[in-house]
Amino acid sequence: MLTGRRIVLGVTGGIAAYRAAELVRWYVKAGAEVQVVMTDAARQFVTPLTFQTLSGNPVHYELFNLIQERDIGHIALADRAELLVVAPATANLVGKVAGGLADDLLTTTILATRAPVLLAPAMNSNMWANPLYQQNQARLAAAGFHFVDPVVGLLACGWEGQGKMAEPATIFEESVRLLSPQDLAGETLLITAGPTREELDPVRFLSNYSSGKMGYAIARAARRRGARVLLVSGPTALEPPAGVEYCGVTSAEQMRQAVLERLAESSVIVKAAAVADYRPASRAGQKIKKGVGSRTTLELEQTPDILAELGGKKAQRLLVGFAAETEQVLEHARRKLEAKNLDLIVANDVSAADAGFEVDTNRVTLLYRGGRVEEWLLLDKLAVAHRLLDRIRALRRGEPLPEPGCAGQ
């Protein structure tokens, strides 16, 4: 996803400097070319050899190294960068940049670059809360700098509070967003994901095998492309993507209420959740006991049809549904498209080993209002998400769609 993109990573002097090594691994794994710039203080915590080994490039830290300056230097670093990240960013570094100071290789590179600059502060919680620091950060934010704020946690000083550097995965996610085309800016996507659970008694429930991976991939991709994302999710083992507005629910009725509460804010609705079609007609207040040789009949009733309800309320919104089927996939999907007033439905055979609920790949067919059909071959779910968002963007803007047919690899 970052193949060939050029990132300059600045590392300053704080205990969180060791976590910058993990961030380098994230960038390199995604295909980026990483140049690391270290301050003198950073080298007291981590050796340059660590970053050179992980990045595959020499580490830069001397402002007046004539041999190095001839080849790369702070101006060449600044010009080459497509994104400049500082992690960790100390209060000292933020203060110097806010004051326009440039007294080492990192600060001169920051002031010379025209690339976006992303800062991940890390410091003692009192330093973080200090009005002088907050003024410095606000000044930089107003000037167009980007921040991933620290989180609450146990700090190196023994205190617990806000000041711990954000997780490398979170910084990476924001980096990808800053390097992605913001072609969904201005859109608010309401996305549902995962299964629902319908309780039988206090310890048992009816559910399905949905992992939430497809819905979460769509949420992640949409956030990277500039959309505001409202993610309503049933129970999953997944971490919500950084930057999305997350609402966790359990039952179909809870999902319905959460979706309707957010409906007015949305411009696009993507219903990727596998909502249970049935629930017990009554819930036992205590655990149902098993008798020797006994048989039990379970009476079920239908859950609310959220997608059909949205189809009657969509107004100018774009409504996208999913059809997880095991047989007659296109026939069932086409009926669902028409019956629920959808603009587009994504159909797939979840009985396939490589395209079911719990795997990272999918093979889907898109059916549009008006009869258009697109069949996509096997792709990873994030690739499916981006391709689906391409179609959503085109429909929202009235742009022509690609020629229908098979696509994928």
Active-site residue list: 157
* 231: phi then psi, degrees, rounded to nearest 5: -105, 115
Return d(Cα 102, Cα 243) in angstroms, integer.
32
Return d(Cα 135, Cα 156) in angstroms, integer.
24
- The CB density around residue 161, as the number of other CB atoms within 10 Å, is 16
Return d(Cα 404, Cα 349) in angstroms, integer.
20
- The CB density around residue 390, as the number of other CB atoms within 10 Å, is 17
Return d(Cα 357, Cα 16) in angstroms, integer.
37
Tell me how far the alpha carbon of residue 174 is from its chain's centroid: 9
Contact (CB, 8 A) for 226 and 393: no
* H or E segment to which residue 196 belongs: none
Give Dmax over CA atoms of the chain in angstroms: 87
- The CB density around residue 319, as the number of other CB atoms within 10 Å, is 23
Return d(Cα 151, Cα 362) in angstroms, integer.
35
Q: Per this entry, what is the length of the chain?
A: 409
Alpha carbon separation from 350 to 361, 362, 380 (Å, rounded): 11, 9, 15
* 201: phi then psi, degrees, rounded to nearest 5: -155, -175
